[in-house]
């Protein structure tokens, strides 16, 4: 496939920050049912996200990476995926993961320092959260190759941040996806910051989407704070991949309204006025304004959804806090399919000195 | 039974598994039409097609990473890295992902991949073609590190590696690829992983080696036998997890041990074996454990390579020293 080398700089957008329609959205992209689904999912993600940050602040959770202000990306992508597709997420993609079936409790267990949080009851095939930046794109390429080889109608989707596109792994994996012509979608959450490094110091390319050109795959830009446009673009790319049309790189423009993680203090390197302005673009208020204007949403709906989300989050937190600690043996379980006999001594030493330990970091 | 070189035995093992297990596939640079730079995959693409014997772009990290994704989705990828000196870009994927995928997902996703790479020096290759990174790999929890020392062991151990449900790094001694032939039954019989092999029985001293150095150790044992020194020679074969029991039993019998590795000395795998003996066999020892190793220098280019690699002379001298120390 010859890649489109005329990637527009202007991102695709259906919703203006005030929720007014703009551009020329196809009817299915702004269908009420879809818009409501995306809104519910974003509100649920934020309710979870803000509680996770609060738990960390009160010492009940380890370091957490908030998705504040970037909910439309995860939700747009997650809603466009089918159950049989596979997600290779980064550490900021609980929006997509929650939509795909990962429970809030599992995510809390993970950030609480317990490997059981990556053993998702659903979806079983999704990759665990990837911390080494950009490296999971190669896993998604391999997964996509497996789908193609077996004739499965599944698509692999990887999500990374803007900083991840500076890595060799990003380029080499995207290049391999182009060569192998596999059903892959790579979504770059361009939230403008790689910890304290602004996107302008990450690349001199005109846009991140242009990096697709070198890999010979399709590339495009979308307003990542516009859930409708985000979903539309992700859906199109995923269905293109599913129908044998190859890989797509999507640059989704957003802004990281929170810190990089709870261990970071973004006030050290960011202008508060810029952050305040960015907050006026955020995706949840934008879609709410749209829904309200269309008469699909009102204050009562909002209050009810808020209560439902709060209740779900509370139940998840209770389940998380009630999760019994792992035995010392968990360190050895699952390292290999069977513990090598030569590690028996280490196992016995750990048993001898085992203690309950602290539940929270 | 066919007489095969080590590289031919590797080829037969790969062919056998491709033939008998549709989940197995190969990927790497130049492995298809060209059959790999050492011809380990010669003819396999013609036989099994380019979807299962995949020529990849030149990107070791992406090759290893894609193999992880394939393995997680139920395939059994066998990666070829052209030389172990080119393996370092893939280390991130091996260490951060392949080795821990099963552990961190509590067994939900697994990584049954094999990463093959020619290993070690002795073939007058250019820079970065003679590395011996086995200790770095053996240090990684969750990785298996296997190094065959003969065609038959290469065949049987590679079958075992491919069938193993966890990631295996399979380091093939470059120098042995075509050094000698051996009868190998292409019968699909695997050899055990995680086991040392006793290559020669003896009573006076234990020589412990792996890969290319096994042959130096055996040659040294032959020479020492002329002087009445009877050496037992152990082929470690799987470095991690280490079958320490076989080594300990041997040293308890002989009371002396010389460890031979071609990698640089400091923090090499020989140090691990020496520590094992210090912890568990000290009171059986009649002389201090000795190591014969490469030096802590950059592996020299061809003209000095023979000065670097442990030689029969150096190994024999080390054994004589342990004999004298306990006389």
Residue B185's pLDDT is what? Answer: 96
Partners of B59 on chain A (C-beta within 8 Å) are 168, 172-173, 175-176
| B24 and B167 co-located in one domain | yes
Confidence of residue A169 (pLDDT cuts 50, 70, 90): very high
Give me the residue from B52, B65, B74 closest to A139, CB to CB.
B65
B236-283 pLDDT, tens digit per residue, is 999 999 999 999 999 999 999 999 999 999 999 999 999 999 999 999
Residue from B48, B49, B55, B62 whose CB has the most chain A CBs within 10 Å, to mutate: B62
Q: Domains in chain B: how many in total?
A: 2
Which DSSP string corresponds to B101-130?
Answer: HHHHTTTSS----EEEEEE---S---TTSS
User: What are the residue numbers of the active site of A?
Assistant: 256, 260, 269
Q: Note whether residue B192 is domain-resident.
A: no
What tokens does B195 get? 């086991």
Residue A358 scores a pLDDT above 50:
no
Can you state the angle between helices A283-293 and A227-242, rounded to 10 degrees?
A: 100
pLDDT of residue A220: 96
Q: Based on the domain organization, do B49 and B172 belong to the same domain?
A: yes
Distance from CA of A183 to the nearest CA of B (A): 13
Residues B18 and B162 in one domain: yes
Q: Given B184, B219, B243, which residue is the final one in a domain?
A: B184
Pick from A82-86, A198-202, A317-321: least confident: A198-202
Of the residues B129, B139, B215, B306, only one is catalytic, namely B129
**Percent of chain A with pLDDT strictly greater than 70:** 97
pLDDT digits (tens, 9 = 90+) for A33-48: 999 999 999 999 999 9
What CATH number does residue B17 fall under?
3.40.50.970
Q: Is the peptide bond before B279 cis (omega within 30 degrees of 0)?
A: no
Give the tens place of pLDDT for each residue, B116-160: 999 999 888 888 889 999 999 999 999 999 999 999 999 999 999
**Chain A residues within an 8 Å CB radius of B55:** none
Point out the residue among B63, B68, B104 whose CB comes nearest to the CB of A139. B68
- Residues B115 and B171 placed together within one structural domain of the fold: yes
If asked whether residues B180 and B246 sit together in one domain, one would say no
pLDDT at residue B184 tops 70: yes
pLDDT 10s digits, A255-267? 999 999 999 999 9
Q: Which of B136, B153, B184 is the last residue of a domain?
A: B184
> Do A334 and B242 make contact, defined as CB atoms within 8 angstroms?
no
Contact A334 B77 (CB under 8 A): no
Task: List all residues of chain B from 62 to 101 with a beta carbon under 8 Å from chain A.
Answer: 62-75, 77, 89, 92-93, 96-97, 101
Per-residue confidence band for A5, with pLDDT thresholds at 50, 70 and 90: low
Q: Is the dihedral of CA A28, A31, A35, A36 positive or negative?
A: negative
Three-class DSSP category at B310: coil
**Hey, are the CB atoms on A336 and B102 less than 8 Å from each other?**
yes
Residue B184 CB neighbours (<10 A): 23
**pTM of the complete model:** 0.95
Burial class (CB in 10 A: 0-12, 13-18, 19+), A271: exposed
- Dihedral angle, C-alpha B118, B123, B128, B134, nearest 10 °: 40
Reported as a pLDDT band with limits 50, 70 and 90, residue A225 is very high
For the record, the structure tokens of A303 come out as 């209050």
Tokens of A104: 């809030």
Same domain, B133 and B272: no
Instruction: Give the model's pLDDT for residue B179.
Output: 95
Grouping H, G, I as helix, E, B as strand and the rest as coil, residue A239 is helix
Question: Rounded mean pLDDT of A67-92?
Answer: 98
* Domain CATH code at residue B300: 3.40.50.920
Pick among A142, A181, A183 to test the B interface (most B CBs inside 10 A): A142
Domain co-membership, B91 together with B224: no
């Amino acid at each position: 496939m010859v890649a489109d080398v005329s990637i527009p700089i202007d991102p695709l957008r259906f919703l203006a920050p005030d929720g007014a329609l703009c551009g020329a959205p196809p009817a299915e992209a702004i269908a009420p049912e879809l818009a409501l689904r995306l809104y519910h999912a974003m509100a649920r993600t934020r309710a979870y996200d803000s509680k996770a940050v609060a738990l960390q602040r009160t010492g009940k959770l380890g370091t957490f990476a908030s998705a504040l202000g970037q909910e439309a990306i995860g939700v747009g992508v997650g809603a466009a995926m089918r159950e049989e597709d596979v997600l290779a997420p980064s550490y900021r993609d609980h929006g997509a993961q929650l939509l795909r079936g990962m429970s809030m409790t599992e995510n809390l267990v993970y950030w609480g320092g317990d490997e059981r949080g990556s053993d998702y009851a659903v979806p079983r095939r999704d990759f665990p959260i990837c911390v080494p930046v950009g490296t999971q794109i190669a896993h998604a390429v391999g997964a996509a190759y497996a789908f193609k080889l077996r004739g499965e109608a599944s698509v692999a989707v990887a999500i990374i941040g803007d900083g991840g596109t500076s890595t060799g792994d990003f380029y080499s994996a995207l290049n391999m996806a182009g060569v192998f012509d596999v059903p892959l979608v790579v979504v770059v959450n361009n939230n403008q910051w790689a910890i304290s490094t602004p996107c302008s110091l990450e690349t001199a390319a005109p846009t991140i989407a242009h990096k697709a050109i070198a890999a010979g795959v399709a590339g495009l830009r979308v307003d990542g704070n516009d859930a409708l446009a985000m979903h539309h673009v992700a859906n199109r790319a995923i269905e293109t991949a599913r129908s044998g049309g190859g890989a797509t790189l999507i640059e989704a423009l957003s802004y990281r309204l929170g810190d990089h993680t709870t261990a970071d203090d973004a006030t050290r390197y960011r202008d508060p006025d810029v952050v305040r302005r960015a907050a006026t673009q955020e995706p949840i208020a934008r879609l709410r304004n749209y829904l309200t204007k269309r008469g699909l949403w009102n204050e009562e709906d909002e209050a009810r959804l808020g209560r439902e989300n709060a209740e779900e989050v509370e139940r998840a937190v209770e389940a998380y806090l009630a999760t019994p600690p792992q035995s010392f043996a968990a360190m050895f379980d699952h390292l290999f399919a069977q513990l090598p006999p030569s590690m028996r001594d280490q196992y016995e030493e750990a048993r001898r000195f085992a203690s309950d330990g602290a539940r929270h970091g | 039974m066919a007489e095969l070189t080590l590289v031919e035995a590797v080829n037969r093992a790969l062919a056998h598994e491709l033939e008998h297990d549709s989940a197995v596939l190969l990927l790497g640079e130049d492995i298809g039409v060209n059959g790999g730079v050492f011809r380990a995959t010669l003819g396999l693409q013609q036989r099994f097609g380019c979807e299962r014997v995949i020529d990849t772009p030149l990107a070791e990290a992406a090759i290893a990473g894609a193999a992880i994704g394939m393995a997680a989705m139920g395939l059994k990828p066998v990666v070829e890295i052209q030389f172990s000196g080119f393996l370092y870009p893939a280390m991130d994927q091996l260490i951060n992902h392949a080795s821990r995928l099963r552990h961190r997902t509590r067994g939900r996703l697994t990584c049954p991949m094999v990463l093959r790479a020619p290993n070690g020096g002795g073939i007058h290759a250019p820079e970065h073609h003679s590395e011996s990174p086995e200790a770095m790999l053996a240090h990684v929890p969750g990785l298996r590190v296997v190094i065959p020392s003969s065609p038959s062991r290469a065949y049987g151990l590679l079958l075992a590696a491919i069938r193993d449900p966890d990631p295996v790094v399979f380091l093939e001694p470059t120098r042995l690829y075509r050094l000698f032939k051996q009868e190998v039954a292409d019968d699909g019989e695997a050899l055990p992983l995680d086991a040392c092999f006793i290559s020669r029985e003896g009573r006076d001293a234990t020589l412990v080696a792996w890969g290319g150095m096994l042959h130096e150790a055996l040659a040294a044992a032959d020479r020492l036998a002329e002087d009445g020194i009877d050496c037992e020679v152990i082929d470690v074969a799987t470095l991690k997890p280490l079958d320490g029991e076989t080594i300990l039993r041997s040293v308890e019998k002989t009371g002396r041990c010389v460890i031979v590795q071609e990698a640089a000395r400091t923090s090499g795998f020989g140090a691990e074996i020496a520590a094992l003996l210090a912890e568990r066999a000290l009171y059986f020892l009649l002389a201090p454990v000795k190591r014969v190793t490469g030096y802590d220098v950059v592996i020299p280019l061809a003209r000095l390579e023979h000065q670097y690699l442990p030689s029969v002379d150096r190994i024999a001298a080390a054994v004589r020293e342990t004999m004298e120390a306990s006389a």
